[in-house]
Amino acid sequence: MAILGLDLSKRSTGWALWEKSSDSARFGTWVLGSEFTSRGRTYKKLRQCVADLSSLVTIDYIFFEEPLRPEVLQGHTNIETLKILAGLAATAECLGDELGCRIVRGVPPSTWRVSFIGSQKRGTKRETLKDLTMERCRQLGMKPGNDDEADAIGLLTHGAESIGMPPPWTANEILRPPLGMHA
């Protein structure tokens, strides 16, 4: 039995996998394509990467970050990016069905982040949220290589807790300083 968290992106998909019998999560990053890669090839690469993981362990649950809504477009995000993100989400749902997963669920960023790093002020910059997610991972004893891996760990942790299976890295939490506050 395993839970997979996915922070979907064409250039850097973060993934985190936890087997219930394990004390920790495995995590990493997949590059699914570049600006020259077609959407179809991008989706195919996600399929291949998830298939590689599922050949090692039975994935029963997949939680992925829901695509952005068009009204929140900002920065480098454009309509093409939205199409890719929606296609990656649909591919994740299809893979979950093919693998016979019990649950395949898209989670809004605001939902999993509140669960993982706590409530933040409206308008908190994206970079700050990414930094807080990295800090939270370090508090829990994990060292993600980038913010995509950290986001995947956050999604995985939220997903596991939402189905009543709190992961071991949160089981024995001690009092910690608030995120962003260093002693």
pLDDT at 126: 87
Convert the pLDDT of each residue in 91-131 to its tens digit: 999 999 999 999 999 999 999 999 999 988 888 898 999 99
Sign of the dihedral defined by the CA atoms of residues 48, 13, 115, 94, in that order: negative
pTM: 0.90
Is residue 15's pLDDT more than 90? yes
Selected from 3.50.50.60, 3.40.50.2020, 3.90.1150.10, 3.30.420.10, the CATH number assigned to the domain covering 2-170 reads: 3.30.420.10
Helices (H), the chain: 39-54, 79-99, 109-117, 126-139, 147-162, 168-171
pLDDT at 156: 98
Pairing of β 103-107 and β 2-7: unpaired
According to DSSP, residue 21 is labeled T
The residue type at 8? L
pLDDT at 67: 87
Convert the pLDDT of each residue in 30-82 to its tens digit: 999 999 999 999 999 999 999 999 999 999 999 999 987 656 555 566 778 88
152, 6 Cβ separation under 8 angstroms: yes
157, 27 Cβ separation under 8 angstroms: no
Q: Give, in order, the Cα–Cα distances in Å from 155 to each of 15, 32, 33, 35, 148.
A: 9, 19, 22, 26, 10
